[in-house]
């Protein structure tokens, strides 16, 4: 069979080669892309098909693009997958665009550091060597640049991530244990909590908080 080179793609594959293979057909030889030897400037696929009894085998391996392979699939590639892959399920009416930091000053990035907009990686290493706890808040930062340019999604940036912690504790506030639920929500919303608040606050990492206050806070205040 001589067909257009879309024979192994989309609806053409799903209504042609796929049902043939599902009904005891076998592709014994195929050339996926062949430039037409005549004057027409087209590319075709050449497919040799055989119908065989269920469970039978052939003495020779199929040939795909002049190379022996274990099997030729409906996609005209080596393998056993002929059907269209199932779509991934999704939650209706929900989407996630990723975390937005809204401030490059949160990052350790040599490129942005050369522009005076972020801290260099050497500063990150120095802060971690001074206090190993800083590594708990500094995390790899992967954005569209890494996703689109690296198949391994390798990262060269890091970000300070306070994970929604309140800003600091204030000893003048009434005890956390004596606050009502509404007062606690207000304290967390304002970022200032009593001194007996047991969970982490950003001020527990003063050197990292100082970087954020110096590089991010002024820009936020301008907006």
Q: H helices of 58-180, where? A: 110-113, 121-130, 144-149
For residues 37 and 123, the model is more confident at 123
Six-digit token pair at 63? 């040939």
pTM of the predicted structure, to 2 decimals: 0.57
Q: Give which of 30, 39, 124 is closest to 68, Cα–Cα.
A: 30
Q: Give which of 140, 128, 190 is closest to 165, Cα–Cα.
A: 190
Rounded CA-CA distance 100/104 in Å is: 10
Rounded CA-CA distance 175/172 in Å is: 9
Give pLDDT, residue 192.
96
Give pLDDT, residue 64.
95
DSSP for 19-36 reads HHHHTTEEEEEEEEEEE-
Six-digit token pair at 208? 């990292």
Beta strands in the chain (DSSP E): 2-4, 25-35, 43-51, 63-64, 67-68, 107-108, 138-141, 157-160, 168-170, 192-194
- Residue 90 Cα distances to 86, 94, 144, angstroms: 12, 8, 22
User: Residue 105 — very low, low, confident or very high, per pLDDT cuts 50/70/90?
Assistant: very high
Give pLDDT, residue 152.
82
Give pLDDT, residue 88.
76
Give pLDDT, residue 151.
81
Q: Could you tell me if 118 and 127 are in contact, meaning their C-beta atoms sit under 8 angstroms apart? A: no
Percent of the chain scoring above 70 in pLDDT = 98
The structural domains of the chain, with segments of one domain joined by +, span: 2-68, 104-222
Rounded CA-CA distance 104/108 in Å is: 9
Q: Per-residue pLDDT tens for 19-64?
A: 999 998 999 999 999 998 888 889 999 999 998 877 677 878 999 9
Q: Per-residue pLDDT tens for 160-216?
A: 999 989 999 999 999 999 999 999 999 999 999 999 999 999 999 999 999 999 999
Q: Give which of 191, 210, 212 is closest to 201, Cα–Cα.
A: 191
Identify the residue whose tokens are 């020779």. Answer: 60
Average pLDDT value for the chain: 90
- Residue 71 Cα distances to 7, 24, 58, 79, 96, angstroms: 17, 13, 11, 6, 40
User: Residue 129 — very low, low, confident or very high, per pLDDT cuts 50/70/90?
Assistant: very high
């Amino acid at each position: 069979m001589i067909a257009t080179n879309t024979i192994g793609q989309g609806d053409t594959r799903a209504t042609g080669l796929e049902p043939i293979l599902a009904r005891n057909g076998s592709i014994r030889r195929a050339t996926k892309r062949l430039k037409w030897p005549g004057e027409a400037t087209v590319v075709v696929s050449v497919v040799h098909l055989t119908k065989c009894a269920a469970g039978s085998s052939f003495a020779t391996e199929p040939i795909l693009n002049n190379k022996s392979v274990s099997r030729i699939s409906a996609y005209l590639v080596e393998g056993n997958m002929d059907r269209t892959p199932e779509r991934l399920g999704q939650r209706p009416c929900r989407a996630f665009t990723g975390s937005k930091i809204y401030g490059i000053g949160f990052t350790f990035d040599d490129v942005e550091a050369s522009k005076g907009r972020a801290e260099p990686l050497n500063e990150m290493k120095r802060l971690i060597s001074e206090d190993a706890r800083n590594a708990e808040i500094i995390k790899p930062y992967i954005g569209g640049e890494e996703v689109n340019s690296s198949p391994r999604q390798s990262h060269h940036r890091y970000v300070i991530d306070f994970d929604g912690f309140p800003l600091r504790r204030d000893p003048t506030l009434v005890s956390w244990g004596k606050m009502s639920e509404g007062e606690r929500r207000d304290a967390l919303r304002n970022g200032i909590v009593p001194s007996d608040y047991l969970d982490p606050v950003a001020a527990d990492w003063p050197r990292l908080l100082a970087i954020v206050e110096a590089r991010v806070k002024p820009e936020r205040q301008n907006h």
